[in-house]
Amino acid sequence: MSHPNPARLQDRLDGALPAGESRALDAHLSGCSACARDFAGLKAAAAAFAAVPVPRLTRAFNRKVLAALRPAPYAAWAAGAAGALCAAWTAGVAWAVAVYGRPSWAGLAAVGETALSAAAKAALIAAKLPLARSAGLLLTDAVSVLPSLLAASVLAAAVILVLGRPTAAARRKP
Amino acid sequence: MEDPTADAELVRRCLDGDEAAFEAVLDSYRDRVYALLLRLVRDPRDAEDLAQEAFLKAFRALASYDPGRPLASWLFKIAHNAALDFLRARGEDPAALDDPESGLDPAEPVAGIEAVLVREETRDRLERIVAGLPPLYREILLLRHKEDLDYRAIGEVLGLPEGTVKNRLFRARDLLKARLESAGEAP
């Protein structure tokens, strides 16, 4: 048998050779000191790695993962807050319409989209994430929603001012 | 090795919302996933955070687990992907495996290796030598020599064909052998 290439030596080490080929290779190794030395080197590297200790985590890790899996206890509160936000927004729009007249469909759509987006995000966060992380994300999300709310307000106001017809009550104001 | 039937039963109980089953999965695979991640990212805190992220991702995607496959391989794959994303976000290239010392002649003498293995400080020395290997080399050595996965299973975890697995494993061992020899020759 000719000298085996390193890949075959590795296959032998990993038990990936058929039995017949393994026997032939072993026979060669027993009579060839150069190949036997190469094979011993591979085995020694494998043994060295296997001797390195395996790091461990404590069971406190389990508690952290399981706590993160449970639904957030304030989910109902968050959903209520989102509902209240939407209700307040709707009431504000209704008041604006009553005072300044009916805005365009584009203005209403912008307001509705913003309110729905805020509610959906709040519900998503509340349902899926653990308390501490959710609180941070909720705050971040609230801040990120503010520009949208402001933009929607400006748009709605512009639509109301440009297209809306002032009511009789508004016309009577000095 | 794992019992696929037991794994499938555990997963079924998890899907039913049985918290004890989640805990059993964590008890079985916590240290193994952590060890894999530590070999990839080195920092224990980062490895623990990534382990938590990997388990949460796995638990939330349990419905997509194939009960015909080992649960360990599925978890390793999720952890491997999480670690690679983490390393890339940190600006590291986990695929940068080329090492100037990896072109070792396999016929080099290996007498120094045994000298290292029998020394009193062997464990620390080995840990340092292994820690000095490229991340993907550490990972594949762990999958082979600690997890006892064969080429096909390693390929499934890493998303690589068997030929690439064998090449990487050979280069990893070659480099480790060279480092061990070098350490054995040190005073």
Chain centroid to Cα A135, Å, comes to 15
- B43 near A CB under 8 A: no
Interface of B with A in 1-40 (CB under 8 A): 19, 22-23, 26-27, 30-32, 34-35, 38
Chain B residues with CB-CB distance to A37 below 8 A: 107, 109-110
Closest chain A residue by Cα to residue B177: A45
pLDDT tens by residue, B45-76: 999 999 999 999 999 999 999 988 889 999 99
Instruction: Say how far apart CA A37 and CA B109 lie, in whole Å.
Output: 7
Give me the amino acid identity at B19.
Answer: E
DSSP type of residue B119: S
> Is residue A167 packed enough to be buried (19+ CB in 10 Å), middle (13-18) or exposed (0-12)?
middle
Where are the alpha helices (H) located in chain B, listed in sequence order?
Answer: 4-15, 19-41, 44-60, 71-89, 111-117, 122-131, 135-145, 151-158, 162-185
Which has more pLDDT, B100 or B150? B150
- Residue among B52, B55, B169 whose CB faces A10 most closely: B169
Tokens of B96: 């940068």
Closest chain B residue by Cα to residue A10: B170
Q: Which ipTM score applies to this complex?
A: 0.77
Give me the amino acid identity at B43.
Answer: D
Chain A residues with CB-CB distance to B113 below 8 A: 41, 44-45, 48
Shortest Cα–Cα distance, A40 to chain B (Å): 8
pLDDT in tens, chain A (174 residues): 688 888 899 999 999 999 999 999 999 999 999 999 989 988 888 888 888 888 899 999 999 999 988 765 555 666 666 667 766 766 676 676 666 666 566 766 776 677 677 767 666 666 655 555 556 555 655 655 566 666 666 666 666 555 555 444 455 544
Reference A155, options A82, A105, A99; nearest CA is A105
- Residue among B109, B123, B180 whose CB faces A45 most closely: B180
Shortest Cα–Cα distance, A125 to chain B (Å): 15
pLDDT tens by residue, B92-134: 877 665 443 333 333 344 445 555 555 556 777 888 888 889 9
Reference A29, options A50, A55, A1; nearest CA is A1
Size of interface A-B (CB pairs under 8 A): 117
Chain centroid to Cα B44, Å, comes to 14
Give me the amino acid identity at A23.
Answer: R
User: Residues in chain A whose beta carbon is closer than 8 A to a beta carbon of chain B?
Assistant: 6-7, 10-11, 14-16, 34, 37-38, 40-42, 44-57, 59, 61-62, 64-66, 68-69
